[in-house]
Amino acid sequence: ADTPGEIGKLVFTVKTPVWREGRVIPLFILLKVTMVLLFPNRSSLPLLVGCGFSLRALLLLRSPHISTKPSTVFLVQLASSDCLILLQWTLWLSVKLSWWTEKPGRGETVSDLCLQLLDAHHLASLLLLGLLGLEATLVSRWPQQTVRFRTSHWAHLSCALVWMFVLLEFTLSLHLQTLRKTNPDNYWSQLQDSKLSFVGLVPPSFLLSTFSPCLRKLLWLMNLWLHYALTHFLLTKLPK
């Protein structure tokens, strides 16, 4: 059964402990929590620096010496989410080098796509960090009562739902951004209708513009509370 001591070891087991490698995952989690909760979601340069830590953590998590607990699944997905940052930088460099900007307006379209990728990365990071914090909190507070739900199967399913939601939000946001550029008058009229109408009477993309900021703020607060509670537990409950 899981014990609080395992939380102190980041809720996964290393069969062959290596001193240097043992510090990679704690640093990766600390960096992710700091970047997601404290930095603006469109700070692309610090996020690019964090990709190096994510790559190192991903290589370690893919090692056969790491167990396949739910926390490992969440950490792998969290590290993999930085692929969106690499894609964003690839597109940004292509704009600067004029690879895709031969036609008028194409550079602006690619720039908008880069911003949408940063927003998608932020949403995915919030959701995955929330799942990681929730799993660690359940292990620390109710290890026996929640053992049936804390399996790799449920972790993979949760991550699949996360990426489906992120893809949906990305697609709808991109559609909304395109509509704003191509037909601004229709965009603003429908946006006002979406704020005054009931759910279901307006396109989903316009509902998204209203609820997405609220969802992100709620996820931010939830992550802040979860990781604060977990840190407090580790500092006060674990044996010295």
What are the chain's domains?
4-237 (1.20.1070)
Which one is predicted more confidently, 162 or 176?
Answer: 162
Query: Shortest CA distance to 94 belongs to which of 111, 119, 115?
Result: 111
Residue 61 has pLDDT above 80, yes or no: yes
Mean pLDDT (whole number) for 86-103: 74
Q: Which of 150, 138, 158, 162 is nearest to 230 (CA)?
A: 138
At 99, give phi and psi (nearest 5°). Answer: -75, -40
pLDDT more than 70, % of the chain: 70
Higher pLDDT, 22 or 221: 221
- pLDDT for res 12: 41
29 Cβ partners below 8 Å, 6+ apart? 10, 75, 132
With contact defined as beta carbons under 8 Å apart, do 96 and 142 qualify? no
DSSP 14: B
> Contact, 26 vs 10, CB < 8 A?
yes
- DSSP class of 9: T
pLDDT, residue 196, reads 44
Which tokens go with 92?
A: 């940004």
Examine the pLDDT at 215 and tell me if it is beyond 70: yes
Q: Does residue 232 surpass a pLDDT of 80?
A: no
Please name which of 47, 25, 218, 208 lies closest in space to residue 132, comparing C-alpha atoms.
25
Across the chain, mean pLDDT equals 76
- Cβ neighbours of residue 238 closer than 8 Å, sequence gap 6 or more: 4, 5, 7, 8
* Overall pTM > 0.95: no
Q: What is the mean pLDDT of residues 177-184?
A: 69
Determine the Cα–Cα distance for residues 61 and 163; give it in Å rounded to an integer.
20
Single-letter amino acid, residue 140: S
Q: Is the dihedral of CA 8, 10, 16, 22 positive or negative?
A: negative
What pLDDT is recorded for position 214?
A: 86
Q: What would the mean pLDDT of 39-49 be, rounded to a whole number? A: 78
Predicted confidence at residue 70, as pLDDT, reads 87
